[in-house]
Amino acid sequence: MKYETVIGLEVHAQLKTNTKLFSTSNNEFGDEPNSNVSVVDLGLPGVLPVLNTEAVRLAIIAGLNTKCKINKKSTFARKHYFYPDLPKGYQISQYDEPIASNGLLVVNVDGNEKKIRINRIHMEEDAGKLIHDLSDEYSLVDLNRAGVPLIEIVTEPDISTSEEAVEYLKKLRKILVFAGVSDCDMEKGNFRCDANISIRPVGQKELGVKTEIKNVNSFRYVQKAIEYEITRQANVLDKGDKIIQETRLFNAGTNKTYSMRSKEDAHDYRYFPDPDLKPLIIEDEELERISSDLNQSYEEKLSSYISLGLSSDDVEILLSESILFSFFDKSLELINEPKLISNWIITELIKYKSDIKLDANNFVELLKMVKAGSINNNSAKEVLSKIVVSNESPEKIVKDMGLTQESSEDFLISIIDEVIEANPSEYERINNGEEKLLAFFVGQTMKLTKGKGNPQIINKILKEKFNLS
């Protein structure tokens, strides 16, 4: 029996705000347990939620970047269940009236375009964390994450293959990171994906019974989980059995999905509008303002970079983090050398991306020196490692460290002559055709110049001398 697959994806992305969605504690990963908790996060008696405007702005930006309609009125609802990581016994989410709806994402799989409709984007607060492996007797609760702002992006069941699913996730991630909405770091848990999968005989209109695969934390695993689940469901149906609608988890070790052992029936979440919060109204002017402030979309920026002559691989790296492409843009304003700037960013500056004190001016100064040949690449890398932290003028560092490259041909010729004199047998060999000894002579010359020789010029002189091409 041939089946076709129907997949819908729900992605939870943590918003890049300073504070949490409804409380004043900070939105930070990795701090000491229970150190980013306010009275509101703790769910103490008498506390009340107050909405973070920045979270709203980012949610709107996510909607605009996925071609959604931003709903003028949206409401918050309480979703009830009892669990130790949910302090109030309910999560504040959006149910009937989400902030954005009816969007679209287009992905490219093997050269084919696939349109994936987005049903809705809504805001909600994250729960805390339950840790099971630090104690034998107890599970431990850390509420740092409780209250962190999330957007949930829900697709229509438009996805048909595991490849499409992964492409969708990759594209969505790029868009959200690029727009500054979320860091989308799956390892830190700020980009989580749940997949709803069902299969049906080819041609059947009715959807099959779906299962939900939760919290798969890498794109590779998403692909494997979907593939396994499709096969599993096909096997079940082939045997004449029925698919059980349930939630499953993915075991990365076995590459299989397995049923969650839940003791109770499906949750009755008892959604109702949160009486502590007023409906969220987005005024036209506010939406105008956010839309016009919106940077180029990911697509637009991609094209503009490609038109500068950069390769699509390089562009992908540049666009993967805002620090990288904003550095690129600023540098480009100071020197029209897109390839040079791009290379230096994606191979060198990227190493320091977590903490760059350097500004574009000094960075471009360094690049100018490289271009002019007054220092060689290795020295430039050394200088960069210093100025990334100190943001000093590269000229000053080069002087202090005595790294000025020696480019004078006369000087270099005299050094080369010294090297030739010191290495007569190699000289004879290269003259007899052992071209690979070129590297030896370059190395020796560089040694004698204490690394400051201009390797391009040294090469040129040596090639001329030995009549090499």
Partner 1 sequence: MPVDKKLVEKISKLSRLNIDESKINDFVSNFEEILNYIDLLEQVPDNSNQNEEDLISDYATRDDSIIEKLSNDEVLMNAKNKDGKFFAVKKVIDEE
Partner 2 sequence: MYKTIEDINKGYKKKDFKPSELVSEYLSEIKLKDQKLNSYTEVFEDLVFSHAQNLDKEIDSDNSILDSNILFGIPIALKDIFLVKDLICTSGSKMLENYVSNYDSKVYESLKITSCLLLGKNNMDEFAMGSSTETSYHGPTLNPWDLNRVPGGSSGGSASAVAAGLACASIGTDTGGSIRQPASFCGIVGLKPSYGRVSRFGMIAFSSSLDQAGPLCRTVKDSAILLDSISGYDSKDSTCLNLPPTNCYTELCKNDFNLKDFTIGIPSKLLDIGLDREIKTNFDSLIKELISNGVKVVDIELPNAKYSVATYYIIAPCEASSNLSRFDGVRYGHSTDYKNVKDLEEFYIKNRSEGFGDEVKRRIMLGNYALSSGYYDAYYLKANKVKEMIVSDFNSAFNNVDCILSPTCPELPFNLGEKKNDPLKMYLSDILTIPANLAQLPSISIPLSLSKNNLPIGLQITGKKLDENTLLKVANGLENLIGFSATPKG
Contact set with partner 2 (CB under 8 A) = 39, 42-51, 78, 80, 82, 84, 87-90, 141, 263, 268, 270-272, 275-278
Residue 376 interacting partner from partner 2, partner 1, none (CB closer than 5 to 8 Å by kind): none
Q: 114 and 164 in contact (C-beta within 8 Å)? A: yes
Least distance to partner 2 from the beta carbon of 80, Å?
6
- Exposure string over 234-245, b if 16+ CB within 10 A, otherwise e: eeebeeeeebee
| Strand pairing category for 280-281 and 191-201 | unpaired
Closest approach of partner 1 to the CB of residue 66, in Å: 23
113 binding partner 1? (CB under 8 A): no
Contact between 182 and 190 under an 8 Å Cβ cutoff? The reply is yes
Phi/psi of residue 360, nearest 5 degrees: -60, -35
Minimum Å distance from CB 85 to partner 1?
8
* CB nearer partner 2, residue 84 or residue 309: 84
- Look-up of token digits 């990759």: 170
Residue 275 touches which of partner 2, partner 1, none (CB < 5 to 8 A by kind)? partner 2
Q: Coil, strand, or helix at residue 26?
A: strand
Residues 457 and 166: their CA atoms lie apart, in Å, by 48
**Which residues, at least 6 apart from 303, have a Cβ–Cβ distance to it below 8 Å?**
none
Q: Does 214 bind partner 1 (CB under 8 A)?
A: yes
Binding status of residue 273 toward partner 1 by CB under 8 A: no
The DSSP string of 228-251 is: HHHHHHHHHHHTT------EEEEE
Instruction: For residues 300 and 212, give the distance between their C-alpha atoms in angstroms, rounded to a whole number.
Output: 35
Partner from partner 2, partner 1, none binding residue 272, C-beta < 5-8 Å depending on class: partner 2
Residue 140 engages partner 1 in binding (rule: CB under 8 A) = yes
**Does the footprint of partner 1 cover residue 251 (CB under 8 A)?**
no
Binding pattern for the stretch 355-394 against partner 1, x by CB under 8 A and - elsewhere: ----------------------------------------
Cα separation, 20 vs 146, whole angstroms: 8
Q: In terms of C-beta distances under 8 Å and separation of at least 24 residues, what long-range contacts does 288-296 make, across chains too?
A: 290/57, 290/60, 290/61, 290/64, 291/64, 294/61, 294/64, 294/65, 294/179, 295/179
**Closest to partner 2 by CB, 88 or 192:** 88
Minimum CB separation of residue 139 from partner 1 in Å reads 5
The one-character DSSP state at 96 is S
Torsional sign, CA 395, 396, 400, 401: negative
Q: Among 211, 205, 212, which residue's Cα sits nearest to residue 243?
A: 211
Contact pattern for partner 1 over residues 12 through 51, marking x by CB under 8 A? -----xxx----xxx-----xxxxxxxx-xx-------xx
Residue 149 CB, nearest distance to partner 2 (Å)? 16
> Taking CB within 5 to 8 Å according to partner kind, which of partner 1, partner 2, none is near residue 401?
none
297: contact with partner 1 by CB under 8 A: no
Under the criterion CB under 8 A, does residue 253 sit at the interface with partner 1? Answer: no
Distance of alpha carbon 115 from alpha carbon 223, whole angstroms: 19
The reply to whether 460 sits near partner 1 by the rule CB under 8 A is no
Nearer to partner 1, 139 or 390 (CB): 139
d(CA 83, CA 88) in angstroms, rounded, equals 9
Residues binding partner 1: number (CB under 8 A): 58
Name which position in 151, 159, 282, 341 contacts partner 1 (CB under 8 A).
Answer: 282
User: Which C-beta is closer to partner 2: that of 276 or that of 417?
Assistant: 276
Q: Which of 47, 67, 72, 209 binds partner 1 (CB under 8 A)?
A: 72
Which of partner 1, partner 2, none interacts with 233 (beta carbon under 5 to 8 A by kind)?
none
Part in contact with partner 1 (CB under 8 A); list of ranges 2-10, 129-137, 162-170, 437-445: 129-137
Choose the one of partner 2, partner 1, none that binds residue 256, judging by a C-beta under 5 to 8 angstroms depending on kind.
none
What DSSP string describes 283-344? -HHHHHHHHHHPPPPHHHHHHHHHTTT--HHHHHHHTT-HHHHHHHHHHHHH---HHHHHHI
Residue with Cβ nearer partner 2 (33 or 180) = 33
User: Contact positions toward partner 1, by CB under 8 A?
Assistant: 17-19, 24-26, 32-39, 41-42, 50-56, 72-73, 82-85, 130-132, 134-143, 214-215, 249, 260-263, 268, 277-283, 286
